[in-house]
Chain A
């Protein structure tokens, strides 16, 4: 940790050189009630995360922690019994960050599995598993991942995470809507059998303490904690981390842009505090950079996008929707993405984003359908990119689609594939088909539609990508639903498309 400055101490990444790992006063028991996590993996390390919260649902959002800094030590080992410890460190959990710590571990070996745990006073955390990425510029034999999104805790149990956590994964992509801002009301939207919430959860969240509390509520789920502890996560957001359907500084609910930035600031702050993100994503006021890139050796390049913070306004009319200048990503992120795709030497180029790229209908203006010129630029960049794969969430349905060079001509060449994962719980049980099925399946390039809850599993090798769409038949009644694979596709390297096996 040498070389890290006061800023990283304040950010819960490190501790002063002289810092004592023993707290001044005892740490409340059960301080690790929100579990542990890792994320943003690199060939030599990852971000570790925990947040001290002995009373996760304390209404002030501070998790029952006293308003003072607490030293938190961590250990990283090659084995789950911690006989071969390879790194130790100390970070300061401060009330300014709701007692979250984000130590950024370095010096690990590439492509290896590691185990980590935290200690605060006499409190010891559960053990988490993480994995470093393969060495930069070197071949890798495979990369296994899961993709998940849209976890409305109040709509159902997180049984999909129970199954996801049992997989042997190199990483988990989370594609947005980690929380929802809506009030949670029994008899209204609280469909999760056996769950109850206090009145402090019954209103739309707005303040930092309310956003913190909402993360705590969702994170009390044991299967979400298990999924975080199973593999490093690569996260982006969609809209509900702030407010439904917002874009840039524009609320859809009558809040002025000047005021809405204050709401965005606390939403982004709580996102950083509660997730395993590196300090590059720490917000500065209402701004936060979450678009970033990771390389899986030469097997894959992972581009994590932000499809909320920089987008143009909703179109005012059809001419505006079609305007060439319109952008969903913002000029800087667009250029960053196209440059990264053009320079990539990877076999697979993954784009993880919040909203659907595939053309479905002109009135779906919150998706890429509202930004056709930006989509054309993206598809054009894909033509010159090796094996583009888009991972998406948002719509609470499993959808697999081939991305066409020109969606106006469905017979045009496929330039990539889009794998859209359904929700973990949002919209409750769901059904195989629903009112929107025809709308999606009328397009020949859409190869799958299933309206039940679940996640997508993918395995990349130098030769192919195998994607499996997993569902759980119910989520409202309990967390006991079995996992079912409803579709398996093979995408051969060099041949963009979806060959259905199951």
Chain B
């Protein structure tokens, strides 16, 4: 009755892409004829040995929670089949994550902490039902004066949200600059999660000038009730927007950045900020 269990094939095509605080891995799955239990993702930071990072059933893994200053990692994948038998490791790949402007820049105005959590924001983690009464006219936040815990809602609804009146919602960030910036300014807008199918878009404007329409990544529709994406196994799906804004948009004295959510459903904030370049 003794039977030798043959190991499954190793995956091929492993590739990685560095993003903010995240490295995204993809590979070609083994054929369906192999019943896969999971793919074991092994990782090694620069100068250290391999360790099991995660198990996933998908031919895809997002290594999150990396340092904002950027990290470099090597990866390889082991296929584990339904019998529990492991393949030899795949070829390895080395990938670096991007450096965030929240590290490389000088903060001009920041709401919240860029830490994968929205818990410091108003109504977090599950108070969305109180949004209409608390923020009947949206958010109007003055940096340096207002508190994120009361002044910036953790969710920005959209017109698809019945609980928020099925209408558009404006979030406004006011901040003062001692002088007009000498270089372009960087916007950092981090989300701990968003709606899974219709995160939609928002119009970004600065001092009354429309800059562009921001499209948000699909999330997991869990961030309306869960505020921390850093817990191991968290179902949240964070996403990050960092983009340069032309210096000519800004002025000495008061400046106003607006996000007008006129399409889709909600987004769940981690933090939002503007950064000057060194």
Contact = CB atoms under 8 A, between A and B. Distances in A.
A86 to B, nearest CB: 27
A481 B60 CA distance: 47
26 contacts: A19-B1, A61-B37, A67-B85, A92-B1, A94-B83, A96-B81, A96-B82, A206-B56, A206-B57, A206-B58, A207-B38, A207-B57, A209-B38, A251-B196, A252-B221, A253-B220, A253-B221, A253-B235, A253-B237, A254-B237, A259-B60, A262-B36, A265-B35, A266-B37, A266-B57, A285-B33
Contact size range, B: 20 to 34
A202 B235 CA distance: 11
A488 interface: no
Nearest to B3: A69
B232 interface: yes
A253 to B, nearest CB: 5
A70 B218 CA distance: 46
B221 A209 contact: no
B1 A69 contact: yes
A183 B233 contact: yes
| Interface of B, helix, strand, loop or mixed by DSSP | loop
Given A203-B232, A262-B29, A266-B37, A24 B2 contact: yes
B59 interface: yes
B55 interface: yes
Contact of A254 (B1, B29, B55, B220): B220
Interface of A: 19-20, 23-24, 60-62, 67-71, 92, 94-98, 183, 202-204, 206-209, 251-255, 259, 262-263, 265-266, 269, 284-286
Contacts of B220: 253-254
B59 A209 contact: no
B83 to A, nearest CB: 4
Interface in B215-259: 218-222, 232-233, 235, 237
Contacts of B58: 206, 255, 259, 262-263
A14 to B, nearest CB: 14
A266 B38 CA distance: 9
A67 B29 CA distance: 24
B130 to A, nearest CB: 19
B84 interface: yes
Given A203-B233, A254-B197, A285-B33, 5 more contacts: A24-B2, A96-B82, A207-B55, A208-B35, A208-B82
A20 B221 CA distance: 53
A265 B29 CA distance: 13
Contacts of B57: 206-208, 262-263, 265-266
A69 B85 CA distance: 13
Nearest to A21: B1
A204 B233 contact: yes
A95 B81 CA distance: 10
A270 to B, nearest CB: 10
A209 B219 contact: no
Contacts of A207: 37-38, 55-57
A232 to B, nearest CB: 26
A73 to B, nearest CB: 13
B32 A254 contact: no
A206 B32 CA distance: 17
A126 B196 CA distance: 46
Interface string B52-75: 000111111000000000000000
B27 to A, nearest CB: 12
B136 to A, nearest CB: 25
Interface in B159-190: none
A96 B35 contact: yes
B51 to A, nearest CB: 18
Contacts of A95: 5, 82-84
B20 to A, nearest CB: 18
A254 B193 CA distance: 10
A269 to B, nearest CB: 6
Nearest to B233: A203
Nearest to A314: B197
Given A207-B57, A262-B58, A253 B2 contact: no
Interface in B6-40: 29, 32-33, 35-38
